[in-house]
Structure 1
Amino acid sequence: MLFRKRAWDLMRDEFATVDESASLAEAVRALRESQKKTPENNIVLVMGKTGSKEGVLKGVVSVWTVLTALDECVLRDPDLKVVKESDFDKTFARASAVCTHTSLAGHMDPDVPTLKPNDPLPVVLELFLRRKRGWAVVQENGKVLGVILVADLYRELSADMVAAF
């Protein structure tokens, strides 16, 4: 079974996207919205334009990206260190608003692990393990077809493992 399954069989063809001109706040909103349907989703694809070609994958904003941004521009805000407890929520909200209204350029990960739709399951597994990411993008001829999350890969592999017992 392992060699019969392809990236195409595992991928999700519904995934969150934002334009490269979006703010971090828009990416967070898109991610939260997609998690209503798919709670294990932890990425938003950042799409843009290269030359005259539109719909080009520029990068990914992940939950880790958002947490890193929160740490860098909110939790390390010197104002938060000196506020009284009663003012903390207001100061935190202000710092978060400033942080999330920044451009995605400094927050997205442009190094996207990609697969072809026909890649067999062992190739998918190898990519996940080698790149140490919980997601990969399935592309063909520069067009994004879907995403595979580590939960999808685990579900498929564990089903075969259980069947072998």
Structure 2
Amino acid sequence: MMLRKRAWDIMRDEFPAVQEDASMAECVRVLRDAIRENPDNFVVVVKTKGGKLAGAISIWKVMKALKQAVLRDENIKNIESVDWDQAVRHACLTCTQLRLEDFIEPDVPKVRPNDAALVLHDVMAKARKSWCIVMEGGKAMGVVFLSDLYREMTRDMLRVC
């Protein structure tokens, strides 16, 4: 059964997405909403104005942007007298004003709708990502997370046992 599963069987066709000219604040909002709805939904697809795939922003990229904002904050350099709550608020504000394009991962793991489940596994493993984007005609049709693939694979395993 597992060998017959295809990307289009497993993919989520509703996934978080933003336009490439969106702000980091918008990306953060979209990602927070996605995580609230489904905790393992931790990547935002970035599209061009024409709807083509520009790349993706993972939760790791958002955290990297926040870290960069914190490290840039001059208030933090004077450790003895830092108001940490204020410094973090300032860093968060700075982070949301960063350019999204500086954090887009353009080379994302991609699969075709008809690719078998084992191909999805290989693509994710080679890319060292726990997600891949299902593409057709240059457009993102869906996202498959490792947790989705795991559920499909173990469902079949449990039927056999």
Settle same-fold status: TM greater than 0.5: yes
Query: Separation in 2 of the partners of 1:78 and 1:157?
Result: 50
Percentage identity across paired residues of the two chains? 42
Matches within 5 A, 1:1-165: 1-49=1-49, 54-75=50-71, 77-83=73-79, 87-165=83-161
| Matched-pair contact (CA < 8 Å) for 1:80–1:92 | no
Query: Separation in 2 of the partners of 1:39 and 1:133?
Result: 17
Which aligned segments of 4 or more residues in structure 1 are displaced greater than 4 angstroms?
83-86
Query: Separation in 2 of the partners of 1:102 and 1:72?
Result: 10
C-alpha distance after superposition, 1:117-140 (max 9, x if no partner)? 000111111111111101111011
Instruction: Report the TM-score, using the length of structure 2 for normalisation.
Output: 0.93
Structure 2 unaligned residues grouped into runs of 5+? none
The letter for the 1-side match of 2:160 is A
RMSD over aligned Cα atoms: 1.6
Instruction: Report the TM-score, using the length of structure 1 for normalisation.
Output: 0.90
Number of equivalent positions: 161
C-alpha distance after superposition, 1:81-139 (max 9, x if no partner)? 32556721112111210122111111111111111000011111111111110111101
The letter for the 2-side match of 1:34 is A
Structure 1 unaligned residues grouped into runs of 5+? none
